[in-house]
Amino acid sequence: MADREPISLDHLSLVSDRLRRYPPEISEHTFVNLFAWRHHRPVLLGKSQGCLVFLSEQDGRRALLGPPLGEASPAELLEELARADVSRAERLPAPAAEALEAEGFEPESDRDNADYVYRREDLAELAGNRYHRQRNLVNQCLAAHDCSWCEITPDILEEVAELQERWCDERNCRERRGLCAEYRAIRQTLLHYKELDLMGGAVRIEGRLEAYTIGGRLNPQTAVVHFEKAMSRFNGLYQVVNQWFCRESLGAFEFVNREQDLGIPGLRKAKESYHPHHMVEKFTVSLTHRPSESRRSAAGGRCRG
């Protein structure tokens, strides 16, 4: 496989064009996610059989990150990657995993990285008994504080960065590996906010920014929320910024992908409490044990003329 190179802003047009032509399901497949997290999870761009592929590097191992963008035989492409020192494919959505299973591979479910997808209208309105708790928290916050909404524009990026510093100081981000990695990804996002195709909003309380959220387009029907932060001393503020973003900024979309829970119990409980419309299941496939021809035949691989 040729033309591997670390992802950079120089690839924005190329990647964005491919993602428009092959609309993604998984939250990892946005230029923002691939680029902003590159210091924590280095990403290489490569080309194989006419497809654009993303390769992640962690702990000395290289993996295909999500399905390839293009049209090729899944099994043949993975075998080519395996010969080029790629040990596995990860974050594969169900259609890609099913195609590989038909070729004799053995996908394994990756529940911790499954994406939560909600109806935008549900999050914007919080109607009905199942959203009683969230609605109460929003009302309590609005009754206790003078909250106002503003769009994130280049003029307020320094305020957003200052809020992120306060949020991190409160949680000692620099001493916690996961939060430190997220901090760097957020800093990269804010630093290049004007170049990236992003939507964001913030909540002011008595004039000061106390919550913000940043998202963008995943596919024509779905927005994705990349980051969402609120100062903890304002009870219900997370519920406010979530609702207001969906109501004020995401009206063009039917669904909102709020990414994964990473297997964190509290985060899983919070995401489930908003009643997702569906989950984007993801799978991992090992490339170190490639299927034999007999296994492929038994699995019923695709016919070729």
In a domain, 69, yes or no: yes
Per the structure, how many domains does the chain have?
2
On whether both 145 and 45 belong to a single domain, the answer is: no
pLDDT of residue 48: 86
In a domain, 305, yes or no: no
Which one has a higher pLDDT value, 215 or 296?
215
On whether both 287 and 245 belong to a single domain, the answer is: no
On whether both 34 and 166 belong to a single domain, the answer is: no
Q: What is the domain extent for residue 164?
A: 115-280
pLDDT of residue 297: 46
| φ, ψ at 116 (rounded to 5°) | -95, 125
Do the strands 147-151 and 115-119 form a parallel or antiparallel pair, or are they unpaired?
unpaired
On whether both 221 and 156 belong to a single domain, the answer is: yes
On whether both 193 and 69 belong to a single domain, the answer is: no
In a domain, 267, yes or no: yes
On whether both 234 and 191 belong to a single domain, the answer is: yes
pLDDT for residue 300 is more than 70: no
On whether both 150 and 166 belong to a single domain, the answer is: yes
Confidence of residue 38 (pLDDT cuts 50, 70, 90): very high
On whether both 265 and 247 belong to a single domain, the answer is: yes
Contact 97, 74 (CB under 8 A): no
pLDDT tens across 274-289, in order? Answer: 999 999 999 999 987 6
- The CATH number covering residue 211 comes to 3.40.630.30
Q: Which two tokens stand for residue 284?
A: 């991992």
Contact 100, 74 (CB under 8 A): yes
pLDDT for residue 239 is more than 90: yes
88: left (phi over 0), alpha (psi -120 to 50) or beta: beta
On whether both 122 and 248 belong to a single domain, the answer is: yes
User: H or E stretch including 214?
Assistant: strand 208-219
In a domain, 99, yes or no: yes
Crossing angle between the packed helical segments 132-144 and 237-248, to the nearest 10 degrees: 100
* pTM confidence score: 0.92
CA–CA separation, 258 vs 254, rounded Å? 13
CA–CA separation, 171 vs 256, rounded Å? 27
pLDDT tens across 119-157, in order? Answer: 999 999 999 999 999 999 999 999 999 999 999 999 999
On whether both 180 and 258 belong to a single domain, the answer is: yes
In a domain, 71, yes or no: yes
In a domain, 268, yes or no: yes
**3 state DSSP class of 269:** helix
On whether both 103 and 233 belong to a single domain, the answer is: no
On whether both 210 and 108 belong to a single domain, the answer is: no
In a domain, 304, yes or no: no
